[in-house]
Amino acid sequence: MYPYFIGSGVLLEAGANAGSVPATLHAQTDAALAASVRAAAVDFEGVGQAELARLLVVVSGWTSSAVERMVMAPLRARGTASLADVLAALALAAGDGTVHLFSEWLPGPDLVETLAARSVTVIAHPLASFERAALITGQRSRSPLAA
């Protein structure tokens, strides 16, 4: 059996078309890594922090609606959010103050320092840490009690 990190959350889009859609990630990775990740941010497309256009934020064991309620709703109430705001909200809502960032770029020193000032640790991993990944977006799950 292959180890997977499985998390639900939202796929965020920055810029003029800013928005979010529910998302679920199934990522095959190293067993130790899969077991240690609670909150994750994934940039499948970007080559640098400054070019970030879409960011997947997920929490293991949560539903997309829980991430929407616990992470996104408070950020939307503020009216604007930086990358540091999103990562801090994700890590703190998930409970341990740690967010794992999977991308082709490393977080800049300013981002790391800003997060540290908010008691958040960011752990960077290369996107290649995922041997395989399936991203499901825009799907809404129904309650098993629904008629």
Quick one: how far is CA 57 from the chain centroid? 2
Q: Does residue 16 fall inside a structural domain?
A: yes
Q: CA 9, CA 65: separation in Å to the nearest integer?
A: 7
If one compares 116 and 17, the residue with the highest pLDDT of the two is 116
User: Tell me, what's the pLDDT at 140?
Assistant: 43
Q: Determine the average pLDDT of the residues in 82-105.
A: 96
Which of the 8 DSSP states describes residue 109?
H
One-letter amino acid at 20 equals S
- Residue 82: exposed, middle, or buried by beta-carbon count in 10 A (0-12, 13-18, 19+)? exposed
Q: Does residue 142 fall inside a structural domain?
A: no
Q: Over 80: is that where the pLDDT of 106 sits? A: yes
Q: Does residue 146 fall inside a structural domain?
A: no
Please state the domain count of the chain: 1
Q: Does residue 125 fall inside a structural domain?
A: yes
Q: CA 102, CA 105: separation in Å to the nearest integer?
A: 8
Q: Domain limits at 10?
A: 4-137
Quick one: how far is CA 11 from the chain centroid? 8
Q: Does residue 91 fall inside a structural domain?
A: yes
First to last CA, the chain: 35
Per-residue pLDDT tens over the stretch 52-69: 999 999 999 999 999 999
